[in-house]
Structure 1
Amino acid sequence: MNSLSFKKVDENEINKIVEDNKNFLTTSKNPSIKYLFRLPEGLVVNIYKTNTILLQGESCYEFANRYGLKVVQKESISKKTIKNIELPNIGCDEVGVGDFFGPLITCCAFVDKDFEIKYPELINKITDSKKINDLKIITLFEELKDKVIWEVYILENFKYNKAYDIYKNTHTLKAICHNQALKRLFRNNSDLIGNKIIMDQFVNERSYYNYLKDQETVINKIYFETKAESKYISVACASIIARYHFLKEIDRLEKEYSVNLPLGANNNVKEIVNKYKLEKSNEIDKFTKMHFNSKI
Structure 2
Amino acid sequence: MTSLSFKKVDQNIINKIIDDNQLFLTDSKNPNIKYLIKTKNNLTISIYTTNTVLIQGNDAQLFALKYNLQSDINVTKPLSLELPNIGCDEVGVGDFFGPLITCCAYVNKDFILNYPELTNSITDSKKINDLKIIDLFEQLKDKVKWEVYILDNSKYNKAYDIYKNTHILKAICHNQALKRLFRNNNELIGQQIIMDQFVDKKNYYNYLKDQEVVIEDIYFETKAESKYISVAIASIIARFHFLKEIEKLEKEFNIKLPLGASNNVKDYVNTYKKEFPLEVTKFIKLHFNSNK
With the shorter chain as reference, the TM-score category is 0.7 to 0.9
- Alignment counterpart, residue 247 of structure 2, candidates 251, 256, 259: 251
Question: Which residue is equivalent to 2:278?
Answer: 282
TM-score normalised according to structure 1 size: 0.71
Question: Which residue is equivalent to 2:168?
Answer: 172
Over residues 81-114 of structure 1, what are the superposed CA-to-partner deviations in whole Å (9 max), with x where a residue is unaligned?
A: xx98931100000000000000000000000000
- The Cα of 1:124 is off from its aligned counterpart by 1.2
TM-score normalised according to structure 2 size: 0.72
Over residues 238-290 of structure 1, what are the superposed CA-to-partner deviations in whole Å (9 max), with x where a residue is unaligned?
A: 00000000000000000001111000001111111000010001100100000
Question: Which residue is equivalent to 2:140?
Answer: 144
Question: Which residue is equivalent to 2:85?
Answer: 89
Q: Aligned pair count? A: 214
Question: Which residue is equivalent to 2:233?
Answer: 237
Question: Partners of 2:273 and 2:221 in 1: how far apart?
Answer: 38
Shift of the 279–223 alpha-carbon distance from structure 1 to 2, 3 Å rule, reads same
SS in 2 for 1:213: coil
Question: Which residue is equivalent to 1:120?
Answer: 116
Identity among equivalent positions (%) equals 77
Residue 142 of structure 2 aligns with an amino acid whose one-letter code is: D
Question: Partners of 1:200 and 1:84 in 2: how far apart?
Answer: 14
**Structure 2 residue 191 is matched with structure 1 residue 198:** no
Shift of the 295–84 alpha-carbon distance from structure 1 to 2, 3 Å rule, reads closer
Question: Which residue is equivalent to 1:106?
Answer: 102
SS in 2 for 1:152: strand
Shift of the 116–85 alpha-carbon distance from structure 1 to 2, 3 Å rule, reads closer
SS in 1 for 2:255: coil
Question: Partners of 2:219 and 2:184 in 1: how far apart?
Answer: 22
After the TM superposition, which residues 145-160 of structure 1 pair with which residues of structure 2 at under 5 Å, given as runs? 145-160=141-156
Over residues 100-134 of structure 1, what are the superposed CA-to-partner deviations in whole Å (9 max), with x where a residue is unaligned?
A: 00000000000000000000011110000000000
SS in 1 for 2:149: strand
Question: Which residue is equivalent to 2:22?
Answer: none
Aligned-pair Cα RMSD in Å = 1.1
After the TM superposition, which residues 33-52 of structure 1 pair with which residues of structure 2 at under 5 Å, given as runs? none
- Alignment counterpart, residue 210 of structure 1, candidates 206, 224, 227: 206
Question: Partners of 2:109 and 2:190 in 1: how far apart?
Answer: 14
Question: Which residue is equivalent to 1:12?
Answer: none
Unaligned runs of 5+ in 1: 1-82
Question: Partners of 2:80 and 2:269 in 1: how far apart?
Answer: 45
Residue 130 of structure 1 aligns with an amino acid whose one-letter code is: K
Over residues 122-161 of structure 1, what are the superposed CA-to-partner deviations in whole Å (9 max), with x where a residue is unaligned?
A: 1110000000000000000000000000000000000000
SS in 2 for 1:217: coil
Residue 262 of structure 2 aligns with an amino acid whose one-letter code is: N
Question: Partners of 1:85 and 1:204 in 2: how far apart?
Answer: 24
- The Cα of 1:191 is off from its aligned counterpart by 0.5
- Alignment counterpart, residue 228 of structure 1, candidates 203, 224, 227: 224
Question: Partners of 1:122 and 1:266 in 2: how far apart?
Answer: 33
Determine if contact 2:80/2:228 at 8 Å carries over to the other structure.
no
Question: Partners of 2:92 and 2:228 in 1: how far apart?
Answer: 21
Question: Which residue is equivalent to 2:65?
Answer: none
Question: Partners of 1:159 and 1:173 in 2: how far apart?
Answer: 10
Question: Partners of 1:104 and 1:218 in 2: how far apart?
Answer: 19
Larger Rg: 2
Residue 278 of structure 2 aligns with an amino acid whose one-letter code is: N
Question: Partners of 1:178 and 1:134 in 2: how far apart?
Answer: 23
SS in 2 for 1:277: helix
SS in 2 for 1:215: coil
SS in 2 for 1:102: coil
